[in-house]
Chain A
Amino acid sequence: MPVWKNLSVIRKVVQLLAFLFLVYGSVFVGFYSADKISGAFPALACAYDAKTADYCVLIPLQHQLGHGVGRAIGAGTFALSMLLPVLTTLATFLLLFVLLNKAFCGWLCPLGFFQEVLGMIGQKLRLNRTESLDEKVVDRIRPAKWLMLGLLVILFPLASGIGFVGHELGDPFCKICPSRILTSLAAGQLNQLYIDTSSTGYMILSIIADTLFGLILVLSLTMRQPFCRICPMLAMHAIFKKIGLVRLVKNYTPRCDKCGLCAKACPMDIREIHTSKEKDILMPDCTLCGRCVEFCPDKGVMAMKYAVIPIKVSDPQYFKERNRAQKQWEGKQKPSRRVKKD
């Protein structure tokens, strides 16, 4: 299959360009373009990276909730106008989000790309990979992203602004965010990798951050996108997913019951795309990577659309070629120990 026809390859190229832009963007477009572009990017593009061109929505959100809304409530001077910055941040976020929906994850997020690259390295190293997680494990992990959003992005910053909890919990998600460490390291800064000994709170948060980063480094080699499964951005996106223009649709046929290749291809283990009889199958965990469409062998059953325009529609010929390309890429898998024993 020619590479330019392979959606996954196209996506990798886009991801690489986005990575270069989001991590080193100031080199190309000058400093401060963050404020020019949006200041509220719907993926983990980091404000702590000294060369960044843009930054993710989570940082202004935590700050505005903490310093603005929280402090105002704490001081008893809360006025509706206090919400204005928060609403503007959300509006900028929504603007970009309407255009691309959750494709920010699958196509633009630096951390998502990094995890995928590690996964590819794992494949090449012939590490024993877990392609799909157990259903029960997936169900258990899913609520975590809502907790991350609710507690770390919203509640703790508010509580810190009011004065219920310490200053360290003013932007707790940033304090543990692996993208902060990743993008700053990629930009040649070591200053985001530290243990902060100034207080117990800071110490705990920095220990969590560094451990989480190490954990992702290793888990990504054998498991698909470990951090994405608990990322608050997914939850944030999920709230607004109905208004995005990019859609994932399915025309259910009884053959779907037997096949299930789409769910197997899905890096986020969304088995619902296989079992669902609905038309709209854009699930909260979806990153709009399009793999399910690529690996659906039935003509026109699955499609990724921009509003009503189809971008990619499942097709038996494409499936065949894509499958062959995948096998070629993966090479012969090392037989697992169990197979050897048999």
Chain B
Amino acid sequence: MKARLLMGATLVVALFSFTAEASMHWVPAPAVKGHGHAGHGGGHGGGNSRHAGETYLLHGGEGAETQLMSPHLAVKALQPEQGRVSVKAMGTGNYHALVAKRSAGELHESAIRYIYMNGKPSGVSPSLLIGHEKSALEIEPAPLAREHWRYYSGTDAVFVIRYRGEPLAGASMSMTTGNGSSAEFTADATGRVTVPLPQDFTYEKPGRAANPPAEFLLTARHGDDGQRFITTFSYDYHINPQHWQSTELGLAMVGGGMLLGGFMTLRKRRRKEKK
């Protein structure tokens, strides 16, 4: 129990340590009781939102309009209470988007987060939702780590920055993580940015459950015709399982299996010859 409390505490610190000066963005709310937070589920979608009624916080989003978009692009308005929204499955499963938008004068801000919902198979590809223009400036995961891949420290994640639906060449983007790393990036001619997720976890114990995820936050900015646009993409990333998974041992084991196969084949042949 103590360990769990401690884990929860470090997690909350990890989740919010970058929020001080960051732009408007979504984070999973720490769980009130029980196990972990919303990002702690099991299998799918980077572990988001396994059950009905997950809560997310919109940071720095006073006065923003918030909505939940289904894989079919159906939109449901959300009513935040003190920056918290509780999202319940809309019946269908698969990836949904949490969208927050706010405009003041020439400044247009948006925050987008994808969450996995359990429910009846939606029958449409998440690419519909991800490719759909939800705000003028947008960071599109290409692809979103899904199902059985997650964002892992020490691996590359690819994003495309789009402005009014088109890739934005040379756009600038920054990253901060809950573990204290930060980096700046510039998109290539096709608007693509490859983000090496930092190896900034302190390795505690073997196993995914023993190593809670942290959040990373991407922020892109763009100015056009006197108008300023800011958008954020946030998601969780996990410690690289290589800490407790050995490829070398795996290869050795395959070799062992091959030897066993060879042995079985020979024995079978000898037996046949004896007959």
Contacts and interface: CB of A to CB of B under 8 A. Distances in A.
A30 B127 contact: yes
B133 to A, nearest CB: 17
A42 interface: no
A142 B151 CA distance: 41
Interface string A24-46: 00100011111110011000000
A193 B255 CA distance: 12
B268 A130 contact: yes
Contact of A35 (B94, B148, B251, B259): B94
Interface in B243-260: 244-247, 249-251, 253-260
A249 to B, nearest CB: 34
B258 A214 contact: yes
A84 B118 CA distance: 11
Contact of A92 (B121, B130, B206): B121
Contacts of B148: 47-48, 59
Given A48-B148, A88-B120, A193 B251 contact: yes
A338 B273 contact: yes
Given A67-B50, A85-B120, A195 B250 contact: yes
Contact of B254 (A214, A219, A337): A214
Contacts of B126: 32, 35
A165 B270 CA distance: 42
A218 B143 contact: no
Contacts of B246: 194-195, 197
B254 A196 contact: no
A50 interface: yes
Contacts, number: 158
Contacts of B257: 210-218
Interface residues of B, number: 54
B188 to A, nearest CB: 19
A47 B245 CA distance: 19
A85 B253 contact: no
Interface in A49-74: 50, 55, 59-60, 63, 66-68
Contact of B261 (A67, A214, A337): A214
A171 B147 CA distance: 13
Nearest to A50: B149
Contacts of A202: 207
B144 to A, nearest CB: 8
Nearest to A189: B149
B147 to A, nearest CB: 5
Contacts of B273: 336-338
B43 A85 contact: no
B261 A218 contact: yes
A32 B245 contact: no
Contacts of A215: 257-258, 260-261, 264
B125 A33 contact: yes
A196 B245 contact: yes
A30 B130 CA distance: 12
A210 B42 contact: no
B269 interface: yes
B118 A68 contact: yes
A210 B251 CA distance: 8
B265 A219 contact: yes
Contact of A171 (B43, B209, B272): B43
B118 A210 contact: no
A198 interface: yes
Contact of A211 (B71, B125, B205, B260): B260
Contact of A32 (B127, B258, B260): B127
Contacts of A210: 250-251, 253-254, 256-257
A197 B206 contact: yes
A207 interface: yes
Nearest to A87: B120
Given A32-B125, A32-B126, A35-B121, A214 B250 contact: no
B263 to A, nearest CB: 9
A196 B241 CA distance: 9
Contacts of A194: 241, 245-247, 249-250
A221 B268 CA distance: 14
Nearest to B244: A198
Interface centre among A35, A66, A213, A217 (most CB of B within 10 A): A35
Contact of B258 (A55, A195, A218): A218
Nearest to A192: B250
A336 B271 CA distance: 13
Contacts of A219: 261, 264-265
Interface string A160-198: 000000010011000000000000000000110111111
A206 B143 contact: no
Contacts of B124: 35-36
A31 B143 contact: yes
A115 to B, nearest CB: 12
Given A67-B43, A85-B121, A217-B258, 20 more contacts: A31-B143, A33-B127, A36-B127, A39-B121, A47-B148, A63-B42, A63-B44, A85-B118, A88-B121, A194-B249, A197-B245, A198-B244, A202-B207, A206-B253, A210-B253, A215-B260, A216-B261, A218-B257, A221-B265, A338-B272
5 contacts: A34-B125, A48-B148, A67-B43, A128-B269, A193-B250
